[in-house]
Structure 1
Amino acid sequence: MAAVFIVSTLILGGTLWLALPTLEEADRPLLRIPKSFAQLQALNGLLKKYRDIYPYRIVICYVTTYLFLQAFSLPGSMYLSILGGAVWGVPRALLLACTCVATGASLCYLISAAFGPALLTLPKWKARLDKFQDKIHDQKDNLISFLIVLRIAPLPPHWVVNVICPHVGIGLVPFWISTFLGIIGVTVIHTSIGGGLDEMTSAADFHLISFKNFLLLSAVVVGALIPVALRFYFKRQIASVADVEQGPVVFEEEEDEVFAAGPAGQPKGVKTAQLVDVTDAESVASSDDDEDIILEAGPAVVLKASDDGHSRESSL
């Protein structure tokens, strides 16, 4: 992890060294990641000074710095969003900042996917991850909406979401989309503040907590929950229509199918002739004299025609 951070820092420094325009000696101390309102205003004036002369270089330096902060969850992203609104205006800064946040968070996602399994061997981290995975499993049908609301909520911190998501079965594409959409509301507030940065005198003029901003974030939450409500409504409608079309279950009685007819039953009062084996002397002796004894029916024998042209049959 330390090696990745060092290499990323070298890439950032090399990009700024190559892309930044040649600064005057008086402007060099102003080039820093803003951590206060005074540094933000100084950097705003510096970027506006070189914006019209080197427009593409300024964008490259801005994007590279933003990605670096998001990839390692470092402070300063809010100031860069405000600075973007001051330099490029709200519409362009909004699109640029949301793209940088989503892409930078995806870099943090990939770093966590590569080095995070080592932390999962600790029982404490594994227990927390299992709890979050259960929540994700409960919201699997509304995953995008759930992640959008999670981005707007103050808790948990965004870096926690970036680190945990690759280990609970959330793909990179849904993660990027939900981050982009979830950060829109906050980024609108930040870039709007940047639009009036020149007239501000202190950080108290930001008015981050206001009724207007509350309504804006509420509108984003409602917009994220609309697909959930529509899915729930149409799911119930489809289920009711399916029940009506299916109707009650009717069991029809089927007639018995006769495969083959057996022998006719013997009428009452009629004695059945008894078949006796002629080799069994006792059976012959014990049989009634009045009853007919059928020894065995042999094949029919057809005699040759007699002289009068008629044939006779005899059976043994």
Structure 2
Amino acid sequence: MRSLAGLAAIVAAASVYLYVLSTHLPPGPKQLPPDTEGADAQELDFRLKFPSDLESLRELADTLKFYKRENYGYVLLLFCSAYLYKQSFAIPGSSFLNMLAGAIFGPWEGLLLACLLATSGSTFCFLLSSVFGKQYVVHLFPEKVALLQRKVEENRSSLFFLLLFLRFFPMTPNWFLNITCPVLNIPISIFFFSVLIGLIPYNFICVRTGSILSQISSLDDIFSWGTLAQLLAIALVALVPGAMIKHYSKTHLKVDGLDSNGAGPGEIDRKRR
């Protein structure tokens, strides 16, 4: 119970910090109707929240780009804090934040941020699981942990490439890998670099997509040569590294028995009943 209380305290403190940061917007350029003055202006302040669909993503991107004109440091701090919050506590939704990075900061700066934040956040999640959650992970997911443990032992000589394989292909969710690797006794250095390298194609796809979405204002823009070239580059980045890792895995890795969710054969049979 002590470990669970410690984790709850960290989550609560991080939540309060993020709430305070997101509700205290700094003064910025305002675009108000001509007849809006005084107290009415305060009512037009944007309420920041995590995007849940493409429409809310575009609205949030427009808001943060609006504030970034004069408050770049604040927007950067807010984005980094929100990203690390999601990654550290294994909260789904990193794809929307990656697209948001591309929409706000552009394709290259956004990609750099996404890679660094995804790696840092995953490492924080690894450390939190190592300190507070090992016994709970084993208790909640005994069969999945046992299956991954067998695969780690079978591929101990190619452990780094096994982790790359699991990042490239959705054999098991990224958040589950983050909380399980401490249980599997994965060295943190191998974990860190496998995340940094293994998530580059995924981050690139999401960031580029967000950058394109922020530039598209009509259907005609989708079929422009520039947009089509970017979509082709995204497809190549998605396919080439995955094909190379898959080819390597056929001759060097033993990954039989892993399904798309990281479940073993016994667990699959029970799900079908």
Of the three residues 139, 146, 156, the one matched with 1:140 is 156
Residue in structure 2 matched with residue 82 of structure 1 by the alignment: 99
Whether the 8 Å contact between 2:138 and 2:145 is mirrored in structure 1 is no
Residue in structure 1 matched with residue 125 of structure 2 by the alignment: 108
The structure number with the bigger radius of gyration is 1
Could you say what secondary structure the match of 2:209 adopts? helix
Normalising by structure 1, report the TM-score: 0.63
Could you say what secondary structure the match of 1:74 adopts? coil
> Distance between the aligned counterparts of 2:189 and 2:198, measured in 1?
14
Structure with the bigger percentage of helix: 2
1:42–1:73 Cα change, 3 Å? same
Flag structure 2 segments of 5+ consecutive residues without an equivalent: 1-6, 31-41, 223-227, 254-273
RMSD across aligned positions (CA) = 3.2
Moved more, 112-121 or 102-111: 112-121
1:174–1:34 Cα change, 3 Å? same
Q: Kindly state the Cα deviation for residue 230 of structure 1 after the two structures are TM-superposed.
A: 11
> Distance between the aligned counterparts of 1:231 and 1:155, measured in 2?
17
Flag structure 1 segments of 5+ consecutive residues without an equivalent: 233-316
Residue pairs, 1:43-192, within 5 angstroms = 43-119=60-136, 122=139, 125-192=141-208
Residue in structure 2 matched with residue 3 of structure 1 by the alignment: 9
Asked whether 1:216 is paired with 2:233, we answer: no
Could you say what secondary structure the match of 1:166 adopts? coil
Q: Kindly state the Cα deviation for residue 192 of structure 1 after the two structures are TM-superposed.
A: 1.1
Residue in structure 2 matched with residue 267 of structure 1 by the alignment: none
State the one-letter code of the partner of 1:78: S
> Distance between the aligned counterparts of 1:99 and 1:223, measured in 2?
23
1:85–1:27 Cα change, 3 Å? farther
Runs of 4+ in 1 over 6 A off after TM superposition: 225-232
Residue in structure 1 matched with residue 26 of structure 2 by the alignment: 21
State the one-letter code of the partner of 1:174: I
Q: Percent identity?
A: 25
Normalising by structure 2, report the TM-score: 0.71
1:228–1:13 Cα change, 3 Å? same
Larger RCO (alpha carbons 8 Å, 6+ apart):
2
Number of aligned pairs?
226
CA offsets 1:19-61 (integer angstroms, 9 cap, x no match): x423663553342211122211111111111212111221111
> Distance between the aligned counterparts of 1:193 and 1:200, measured in 2?
14
